[in-house]
Amino acid sequence: MKRLKLLPALALIAGLAVSIGTTSAYAQTTLRVFSGGANQRPDLMRKLFDQYQAANPGVKIEIETGGATSELQRQYLSTVLNAKDSAIDIYMIDIVNPAQYFGAGWLEPLNAYVGSPADAMKPYLPVYLQSNVVDGKVAAMPGFADAMFMYYRKDLLEKYKIAEPKTWDELAAASKKIQAGEGNPNLQGLSIQGAPIEGAVCTFLLPYWSQGKEFNDASGKLTLDKAAAVKGLNQWLSMVDAGVIKRNVAEVKTPDTVNEFKAGQVIFAINWGFAWDRFRMDKDSTVQGKVGVMPLPAMAGGKSATCVGGWQWAVSAFSKNKAEAAKLVKFMATPATSKFLAVEGSLLPTIQSVYVDADVVKSVPRFKDAANVVIAGRAARCPGLRAGQRRGPDDDERRARAHQEARRGRG
């Protein structure tokens, strides 16, 4: 506990020292931005900040980076924001966090700067109205998107003359046929992430959503249909029992799926957008030129749905430069920025029109098809606790836990 209490104090002192030092020396606005971890491409963000600085000579932007995963970043941000630290003006946060942080009073409502929620979110994919607007307030603006895709081995499906499966049962049958035909005991039918990480929330929600069920309503309230959730989990478990998904799936993290698919040990793999380049371009990938992407299968009678992730820009409620910070956030959410990130870093756009932009299509042709996947996508969000409720069963950690518990003693 002592360590936890000291950290924010230290961060505060360091932050104060920085802000005093810079404001007196330059007499201009200095914005400090928390820009995620290495996967969120702080190098590209720096380039954008440099562009902004050039156009706005009175503003200087400092960048701060954090942990490699969403969980690590959240631990740091929860500590800093809980201490009401004013050193950081802008935060890049995971799509699950705006509601929780806004509920805690840590984020500045942006309505005064970007207009009403409906107007502000109009240019963006529909998922953002759901994830970034809390209680009628704009809590954050979209930075770039990410989504779960279904990657598959084109060559194997062609070899066995199997069409892209439309339902999970078809996928299981296709996997079994190929596994039997190849006779390789290490060949997995489907690789999903079951370890207790942020991404496992999506693993849990995919078969749930693909029954046409919703997890949150428009106001962010939990609308979990228990029967459907159990049915969804049982879909995964039956595939574990059938040998389509490997037994120790509760140990599988995002990079495990990527590495095993690259090694040719996986027929179907669910993973985030970045995996595409890893499969196609990494030197140690044995599946170059053999990879396809298709819409995620659905439960029989349901419809395909994917999990949208990605990163948002939010202004700290404790910032001393809120107006300037909001301006920068607006800039980071423009179509031009989205296009820059798509072309330079293959980061998924947040705006539908950018997906079909000529330059974007030229440098990342797959985005044309990806648009449909992302538009149909949903986002999980931590709705924050409602009045009268002690602890949230809707917290994603609990979801991950329910997920694991279902697996306990099985397989």
Binding site for another protein (CB under 8 A): 1-2, 4-6, 74-75, 78-79, 82, 99-101, 103-106, 196, 247-248, 250-251, 382-392, 395, 397, 401, 404-405, 407-409
Please, what is the minimum distance in Å from the beta carbon of residue 345 to another protein? 30
The encoded tokens of residue 41 equal: 């491409």
CA distance 411 to 406: 11
Please, what is the minimum distance in Å from the beta carbon of residue 400 to another protein? 9
Please, what is the minimum distance in Å from the beta carbon of residue 65 to another protein? 20
CB nearer another protein, residue 161 or residue 408: 408
Please, what is the minimum distance in Å from the beta carbon of residue 386 to another protein? 5
CB nearer another protein, residue 220 or residue 297: 220
Give the CA distances from residue 31 to residues 8, 184, 302, 320, 328, in Å, rounded to whole numbers and listed in that order: 19, 55, 47, 9, 9
CB nearer another protein, residue 12 or residue 385: 385
CB nearer another protein, residue 70 or residue 337: 70
The encoded tokens of residue 251 equal: 């140990």
Please, what is the minimum distance in Å from the beta carbon of residue 341 to another protein? 29
* Count of alpha carbons within 13 angstroms of residue 277, beta-carbon side: 10
Nearest-CA neighbor of 92 among 254, 274, 307, 315? 315
Q: What is the helix, strand, coil percentage profile of the chain, to 5? A: 45, 15, 35
CB nearer another protein, residue 42 or residue 103: 103
Write out the DSSP string of 143-198. Answer: EEEEEEEEEEEHHHHHHTT-PPPSBHHHHHHHHHHHHHHHT-TT-EEEE---SSST
Inter-residue contact 243 to 179 (CB < 8 Å): yes
CB nearer another protein, residue 103 or residue 349: 103
Please, what is the minimum distance in Å from the beta carbon of residue 250 to another protein? 5
Bridge-based pairing of strands 141-153 and 266-272 is: antiparallel
CA distance 237 to 240: 5
What are residue 147's phi and psi, to 5 degrees? -155, 160
Please, what is the minimum distance in Å from the beta carbon of residue 73 to another protein? 12
CA distance 411 to 243: 9
* Count of alpha carbons within 13 angstroms of residue 82, beta-carbon side: 13
Residue 2: count other Cβ atoms within 10 Å of its Cβ: 6
CB nearer another protein, residue 186 or residue 234: 186
Please, what is the minimum distance in Å from the beta carbon of residue 70 to another protein? 12
CB nearer another protein, residue 333 or residue 379: 379
Inter-residue contact 288 to 280 (CB < 8 Å): yes
CB nearer another protein, residue 75 or residue 286: 75
Please, what is the minimum distance in Å from the beta carbon of residue 408 to another protein? 5
